[in-house]
Structure 1
Amino acid sequence: MDEQIILPAFYLPPVSYFSVIHNAPMPILLEQYEHYPKQTYRTRASVYSANGKLDLIVPVKKGRGGHTRMKDVRISYESDWQRLHWMSLQTAYRSSAYFEYYEEDFMPFYQQRYEWLFDYNVLQLQLLLRLLKITRSVGYTESYRENYPSDLDFRQAIHPKTGHAGGDPKPYYQVFENKHGFIAGLSIVDLLFNHGPQSRTYL
């Protein structure tokens, strides 16, 4: 088997996720058979609001007991979270240099309903790779494997509670940094809306 980096499918993944992809020029294998873990970037994206860091969380339907495979997790629409997330993104980034440039690319994710979390996250990943001009083939695991080579397995490495893959990131310009300073660990959209085509150079 050719070498591939093993990644989870995240919601608007953090900058460090794309640093891993950019710095490991090999195909991506997305984990779809893991047991869905709560309180991770699979359903959470952090953005920079006027009040500081803001977490946007995609609600999911509870499985019928036991563990649910990531590919079988359904998105919940009991609350109007899409409207809330889109309003939050607009409020946070409407004054950034490139939000209007990319706005129409992201709008469909908050206008139409998607049943499966995994599919939703994969479509966002494909868009983000295109906008960042990163060319990678994306495949999917066919079963769950506990162990992959440690230098290729990033399923647990990027987590809200454990910092950033690759160490502390170098600062870049953020809209509200004059209020709260540089905030690390945010979604790639924070970098993209602030720096546009230059985002890949930062990675």
Structure 2
Amino acid sequence: MLDARLIPLTRPPLNWLAQKLDRRGITADQATLGGFAIGMLSVPLLAFEWYAAALLAIILNRLSDGLDGALARIQGLSDAGGFLDIVLDFIFYSAVGFGFLLANPEQNAFWAALLMLSFVGTGTTFLAFAIMANKYHLDSPDYPQKSLYYMGGLTEGTETIVALILFCLFPAYFPWLAGIFAAMCWITTVARIRAGFTTLNALSPRVRVE
């Protein structure tokens, strides 16, 4: 919901930093993999309830996610890079939920599981429609810089980052925060299912198979 408004504000500093990394020979895929490795450190850090350190790992992961896109725009967009980026993003999101489960299973297990299920909903609707959008050569006017068709919603990247930060800042309230964000994710999922089905139903005639 907020990505389209914030991307123009964050792009100039990210482009400036990406230019420096590009001159040092850092590739977009290296930024993606390095950021993923750093982000996954949040799982053991959360398990030991080292929330400040986990928050730093999460922020660095999200920074690298912006940098890999900026580097890709300098070095050239690739389907392989776009695939790697989005897959690792969704693994990372669920991994953070798993980290909170490990931190306090008695309090967090149900809500962490619900959160991870919610990420399955937003992730599958996003990726499934991106596949079909490519088949029908649909453009994403709000996000032309993306390798995949970017299907928006109530919970996009910005909202997810805010949620992960709040989880770390207020871990005692994780059940409440995770429940609220999971509800937002399901609103997004249902809206995407409806919009995706309606769009594709209009584009693709039914074919009878004998």
Give the TM-score normalised by the residue count of structure 1.
0.31
Give the TM-score normalised by the residue count of structure 2.
0.30
RCO (CA 8 Å, sep 6+): is it higher in 1 or 2? 1
Higher helix fraction (1 or 2):
2
Choose 1 or 2 for highest CA Rg: 2
